[in-house]
Structure formats: C-alpha cells, structure tokens
C-alpha cells in the first residue's frame, strides 16, 4: 500500500486563471472560494482568475495561493484519497495544516490574509532574494555569515539550489563571494521583500497576536514543519512554529528527506505549478511524484491512485 504525502506550494507559483476549472466544475471547490471571499472581504475568483497586478503582490498572493490549494484539497478529499503526512513550502504550510485538520478553512484564510499584509509591510525599503545553484548549503550559510549586513539562507529547496535573503547590499556582497567560491549560477528572484530573514521578525510578532484568535485543533494527520523538518503531532506547538516560520529558513529538502525516511513513497503536490514536484525529483529518484493544479491532473492522479 502506498504511503502518500500531500504537499502544498508557496509563493511564486501563482498565475492568472489558477483554480478556475475546479471553481466552475466542482461545487465543493466553489464553496472554498466563497468561504475565502467572505472571510477576507476580497473577491477571490476575480483575484485568481483574471489578469491583474495584485496577484504578484505578497498581501494578495498568499491568500490567493492558499485558496486555490485548499479548493483542490477539498476535491481530493471528496474522493476519499488521504495522506499519512502533509507538508508545505513556506505559505504552503497553511495548506498542510488544513489537510491535517489543525486549522479550519476560516482560521487559515484569516491568518494568511494578515500574514501576507504583515510580510508586505515589514520591510518597506524592500530587500532581495537570490537562488544559488551549485554550492553546498553549509558553504552558502558560512559565506552569508561572513558578509557585513543582514543576509542568510532562506530556503533549502533541493540539492544544488539554495535561496538567500536579506538586505539588498548584503545579498549583492554575498553573491560576489558565492561566485568566487564556485557557485555555478545565481538568479535574482522577483520578490517584494527579504522573506525568511530576521528582517521579518516584526511580522512574526504581529502574526503571534493574530494567532491568539485562531483555534488549533487536534492534529489528525501529522505534518512536517519548515522550521525543524520534523513530524509534528502535538497541536500545542503549532502557533509558535508558525511565528518562527516567518523569519526562519525553510528546510524543504530536509523535510522531504524526513518524510522519505518515514516511509513516504508517493508525493502529491496540491496547488498551482509544479515547483515542489521538481524539487522532490531532485531530492530522490526513488519516489513517485505527481501534481494537481487543474482538473485534468486531478483525473490522472485519481486514476493512478484509486
């Protein structure tokens, strides 16, 4: 019997039209969009389905991504397919918490709407992030530590791809040192802030206040947290982990390795894009990886896993 993990993408995978076929064809998915619109006061179908400038602005991107992922999750759950563990990259961790029944849709949407705003506002002067190809994570972290200013590892995505984050001048200085150390390629990322750096500590503290209003339910299916890459089954530590997650490195590669060592042999990416599927294939060639971002994918996955 397959051991399945549901995994949920983060910011950067969004595109106009995402989730529209689910919304139009499946009432259970439309209900999720309606719930998100009601909780946030935003027109989520308009935000997700039409070409607009807001979709790539953090405070809107995050709620749009979560809404689409949660809608697809409900379609999957309606078939009876279940996971033995869940995980998500950064924002995607909220999708994992919904799948694990730790967060209601209403609380997840309310929190992520605020999270996006807090992260957008945290660093009004901007910041920078860059993907570093071809260098070991420890080496990258060491170089970042030696550079003046604030720069650090944001994401351990997969072997050969680490993302750095911080003040723009510090990131630029680190890029020079990283190239000297043998980085194959460094790609600047189009982001509106230095996410997962200590510059976001303030956003995490504001989120802490919002989390006081949310109810964390007993975890029915374990999830793996970005912060430590460990299985979480105790709902009592969820809020603190979500606060820390805002400014901590995302240990995605380590999280996938944890799930594989726990027996997971099948990963189903639920949400826009195929980013996580690509990362997982680079982490291990010994597991099955599928993604669901449209109803065609949905049918293929259901046929394969039924």
pLDDT at 193: 85
C-alpha pair distances (Å), 239 with each of 60, 181, 207, 215: 22, 38, 9, 10
pLDDT at 233: 97
Beta partners for 128?
166
Rounded CA-CA distance 118/298 in Å is 34
Which residues belong to CATH 3.30.70.250 in the chain? Answer: 128-188
Which residues belong to CATH 3.40.366.10 in the chain? Answer: 4-122+198-305
- Residue 65: enclosing H or E segment and its boundaries? helix 58-78
Strands of the sheet containing 128-133, edge to edge, are: 151-158, 161-166, 128-133, 185-188
Exposure string over 278-295, b if 16+ CB within 10 A, otherwise e: bbbeebbeebebbbbbbb
Phi/psi for 132 (5° steps) reads -105, 125
Percent of all residues in the chain with a pLDDT value above 70, rounded to a whole number = 100
Band of residue 190 on the pLDDT scale cut at 50, 70, 90: confident
Fold of 128-188: Alpha-Beta Plaits (3.30.70)
pLDDT at 95: 98
Mean pLDDT score, 254-267: 98
State the catalytic residue, choosing from 90, 152, 235, 247.
90
Band of residue 216 on the pLDDT scale cut at 50, 70, 90: very high
pLDDT at 1: 79
Mean pLDDT of the chain, nearest integer = 96
pLDDT at 65: 98
Rounded CA-CA distance 211/111 in Å is 7
pLDDT at 191: 80
Mean pLDDT score, 155-164: 96
The 10s digit of each residue's pLDDT in 278-291 is: 999 999 999 999 99
Band of residue 160 on the pLDDT scale cut at 50, 70, 90: very high
CATH number of 4-122+198-305: 3.40.366.10
Band of residue 248 on the pLDDT scale cut at 50, 70, 90: very high
C-alpha pair distances (Å), 304 with each of 89, 291, 297: 25, 12, 11
Q: Is 196 a catalytic residue?
A: yes
Rounded CA-CA distance 105/174 in Å is 40
The 10s digit of each residue's pLDDT in 50-88 is: 999 999 999 999 999 999 999 999 999 999 999 999 999
pTM score, whole prediction: 0.96
Band of residue 126 on the pLDDT scale cut at 50, 70, 90: confident
State the catalytic residue, choosing from 196, 197, 235, 255.
196
198 burial class (0-12, 13-18, 19+ CB within 10 angstroms)?
Answer: middle
Q: Is 197 a catalytic residue?
A: no
Residue 124 in this model has a pLDDT that exceeds 80: no
């Amino acid at each position: 019997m397959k051991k399945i993990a549901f995994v949920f993408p983060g910011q950067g995978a969004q595109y106009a039209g995402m989730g529209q076929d689910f919304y139009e064809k499946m009432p259970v998915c439309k209900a999720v969009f309606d719930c998100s619109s009601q909780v946030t006061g935003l027109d989520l179908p308009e935000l997700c389905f039409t070409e607009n400038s807001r979709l790539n602005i953090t405070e809107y991107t995050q709620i749009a991504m979560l809404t689409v992922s949660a809608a697809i999750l409900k379609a999957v759950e309606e078939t009876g397919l279940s996971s033995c563990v869940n995980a998500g990259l950064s924002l995607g961790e909220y999708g994992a918490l919904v799948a694990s029944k730790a967060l209601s849709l209403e609380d997840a949407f309310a929190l992520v709407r605020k999270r996006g705003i807090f992260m957008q506002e945290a660093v009004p002067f901007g910041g920078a992030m860059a993907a570093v190809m071809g260098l070991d994570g420890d080496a990258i972290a060491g170089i970042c530590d030696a550079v003046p200013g604030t720069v650090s590892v944001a994401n351990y995505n997969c072997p050969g791809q680490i993302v750095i984050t911080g003040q723009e001048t510090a990131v630029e200085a680190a890029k020079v040192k990283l190239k000297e150390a043998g980085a194959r390629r460094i790609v600047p990322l189009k982001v509106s802030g230095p996410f997962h750096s200590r510059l976001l500590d303030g956003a995490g503290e504001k989120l802490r206040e919002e989390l006081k209003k949310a109810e964390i339910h007993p975890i029915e299916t374990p999830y793996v947290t970005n912060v430590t890459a460990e299985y979480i089954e105790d709902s009592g530590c969820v809020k603190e982990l979500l606060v820390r997650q805002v400014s901590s490195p995302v240990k995605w590669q380590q999280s996938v390795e944890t799930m594989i060592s726990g027996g997971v042999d099948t990963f189903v990416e639920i949400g826009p894009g195929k980013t996580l599927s690509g990362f997982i294939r680079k982490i291990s060639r010994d597991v099955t990886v599928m993604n669901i971002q449209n109803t065609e994918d949905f049918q293929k996955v259901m046929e394969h896993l039924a």
